[in-house]
Amino acid sequence: MAVTYDKAYKVLAQQENISNSKAKELIDRGVVKVGEQKVLIARGEIRTDTKFNIKEIGKIKVIFEDKDILVVDKPAFLTADDVAKKYEGAILLNRLDKETSGVMMFAKNEDFQKKAIKEFQANKVYKEYVAIVEGKVIEEIEIDKPILTTKDRGMAKSKIDLKRGKPAKSTVYPVLVEGNKSKVKVVIESGRTHQIRVHLNSVGLPIIGDGIYGRTASNINRVLLHSKVTKIFDYVFESPEPKEFRVYDFNS
């Protein structure tokens, strides 16, 4: 029998009995794999007998809500804008990358939004993340390196740039070392685009699962970065670590 090829999203649509647009959306989100390889290009040619694996996207959970603020636990593979669409009238206060999970905050009125923006600008908002990195972290590391972000075809890319970059500071604390991988706590001041991913890579500690700035792994299909704790005014919000951050998972 002759081998036939078609665009990946069309093969996926037929296999899963879903629309072409839904199949393309799943591939674009990064949740479709063939074996251990993530399918990256929806329009790429692929064998029509290819078998896909689709990772289920978690549900958005409300952590806290009052008259001023709405806080949710964002699952990986949803963009900040995807989440914002589900809460009409809420005003986004902090963004997380598509594959980063955890605490995301919305203001419910303009007065609170203005107060919150001042707190962010004054670096008074405490932002704590957890990450799994390649390399051994056994002591506290302070990374104070300016970051320049550029956009190409709507895609943001950041890098360390001592001349043109904006100030950015990340402090890394060891949590656990297993083999040549470490779980770390990262507390950031400011909040530049892709700051933690760029900073950790710049000191030889690439985040596992980060295909752009870090290190991919066959058994991991997302960036292992999670927004765990955020403190603003008298509020403290915490999101539990997803199962991917358990030590026996990332070292397998």
CA nearest 108: which of 86, 127, 125, 92?
Answer: 92
CATH code for the structural domain at 61-250: 3.30.2350.10
pLDDT computed for residue 37 by the predictor: 72
Per-residue pLDDT of 181-203, as tens digits, reads 999 999 998 888 899 999 999 99
SS (H, E, C) 193-227: CCHHHHHHHHCCCCEECCCCCCECECCECCCCEEE
- Per-residue pLDDT band for 124 (boundaries 50, 70, 90) equals very high
**What's the residue count for the chain?**
252
Structure tokens that stand for 41 in this block? 């290009």
- Per-residue pLDDT band for 252 (boundaries 50, 70, 90) equals very low
pLDDT computed for residue 114 by the predictor: 96
For residues 107 and 119, what is the distance between their CA atoms, to the nearest angstrom?
13
DSSP calls for 234-248: TEEEE-PPPGGGSHH
Structure tokens that stand for 157 in this block? 């890319």
Active site residues: 97
What fold, for 5-54? 3.10.290
Name which residue leads in pLDDT, 252 or 200.
Answer: 200
Over 80: is that where the pLDDT of 217 sits? no
Q: Chain-centre distance of CA 225, in angstroms?
A: 6
For the entire predicted model, the pTM comes to 0.84
Mean pLDDT, the chain, whole residue set = 88
Degrees to nearest 5, angle at CA 195 with 205 and 66: 120
- Would you kindly state where each structural domain of the chain is located, as residue ranges? 5-54, 61-250
The amino acid that residue 91 corresponds to is I
pLDDT computed for residue 249 by the predictor: 53
Name which residue leads in pLDDT, 56 or 181.
Answer: 181
- Per-residue pLDDT band for 1 (boundaries 50, 70, 90) equals low
For residues 126 and 44, what is the distance between their CA atoms, to the nearest angstrom?
42
Over 90: is that where the pLDDT of 60 sits? yes
Over 80: is that where the pLDDT of 33 sits? no
Three-class secondary structure of residue 74 per DSSP: strand
pLDDT computed for residue 248 by the predictor: 47
- Per-residue pLDDT band for 247 (boundaries 50, 70, 90) equals low
